[in-house]
Amino acid sequence: MSILVLLAYALPQLPAVVVKSASGPTRLLLVYGGAGAACALALLTYAGLVRLMEHRRPGEIALRPRLAVAGAGLGMALFCAVYAVLFAQGLAHWSGVNGLGGVAAALSMAIASGIGEELVLRGVAYRVIEESCGTLVALLASAAIFGLLHGANPGASAISTGAIALEAGVLLGASYIVTRNLWFPIGLHLGWNFAEGGVFGVAVSGHPAAGILNAPLSGPAILTGGAFGPEASPAAVAVCLCAALAMLVVAARRGLWKPFTLRLYPR
């Protein structure tokens, strides 16, 4: 089971790695063909794992294009809100337009992280913990795991690890709770990462990017996120926690919270 889970995470990453060294039509082929095929294989791996280990249909990955589009739009809107705050604080600066040269790599990475990380973190870790311990424990535990998984990234620190857990871990968990479908957090994750790297051209969890816009950050690392990128900034934590809180309130009103339990062998 562990090997299959790792495959579901790793497969979408492969085209994202190769595309960095490609150019011209080959680059586009890898983005739209390679990444798509790898992600499809990861989804099939996940579906097979659920059927084999849980003896059920994986309804959480039932295709919901509207949820994916809504999630992507929300992710991009939230990151734009973060950048608006950074501009207002005098930490972000407009320096012109870079063009489309970095879009292919940014899109590839966004697809890879959106599919691979959500299958593992929300599709596996969150669901299993929720079945064992309830919604609150699953939300906090999966958020902590998400933060720790980014703790070895370039430019990472204790602050960035905590920030990623609070903003992305809680937000993505909340987006799954409110829909009970992985396409919403997948879209949200993809939209956020693409806006960050592909549009604004700032580091995505420590990984440098070249975006359409040239809007660099300057100022104290504690406010800008430093080398890790704006995901480690107070602005990102505040914006994402507000969005997550709104989703969690909606989920609670819909009766989607599962009470605390302590079940050794989840169903």
Digitized pLDDT (tens) for each residue of the chain, 267 residues in all? 444 455 555 555 555 555 555 555 555 565 566 667 778 888 988 999 899 888 899 999 999 999 999 999 999 999 999 999 999 999 999 988 998 888 888 888 898 889 989 999 999 999 999 999 999 999 999 999 999 999 999 999 999 999 999 999 999 999 999 999 999 999 999 999 999 999 999 999 999 988 999 999 999 999 999 999 999 999 999 999 999 999 999 999 999 999 988 876 555
User: Rounded distance, CA 48 to CA 43, Å?
Assistant: 9
Instruction: Give the model's pLDDT for residue 29.
Output: 62
3-state secondary structure of 92: strand
Residues 129-164 as b or e (16 or more Cβ within 10 Å = b): bbbbbbbebbbbbbbbbbbebbeebebbbebbbbbb
Provide the residue type at 184 as one letter. F
Both structure tokens of 209:
């990017």
Provide the residue type at 153 as one letter. N
Q: Where are the alpha helices (DSSP H) in 121-232?
A: 127-133, 135-149, 158-164, 170-179, 183-193, 221-224
Domain ranges of the chain: 64-253
Place of tokens 């992507």: 72
Beta carbons of 267 and 195 less than 8 angstroms apart: no
Q: At what angle do helices 103-120 and 2-10 cross, to 10 degrees?
A: 160
* pTM for this prediction: 0.89
DSSP label at residue 226: G
Beta carbons of 25 and 101 less than 8 angstroms apart: no
Instruction: Give the model's pLDDT for residue 23.
Output: 56
11-56, pLDDT tens digit by residue?
Answer: 555 555 555 555 555 555 655 666 677 788 889 889 998 998 888 9
Instruction: Give the model's pLDDT for residue 1.
Output: 47
Both structure tokens of 158:
């204790």
Q: At what angle do helices 170-179 and 183-193 cross, to 10 degrees?
A: 150
3-state secondary structure of 175: helix
User: Rounded distance, CA 164 to CA 147, Å?
Assistant: 5
User: Rounded distance, CA 84 to CA 46, Å?
Assistant: 37
The helix (run of H) or strand (run of E) holding residue 77 is helix 65-88
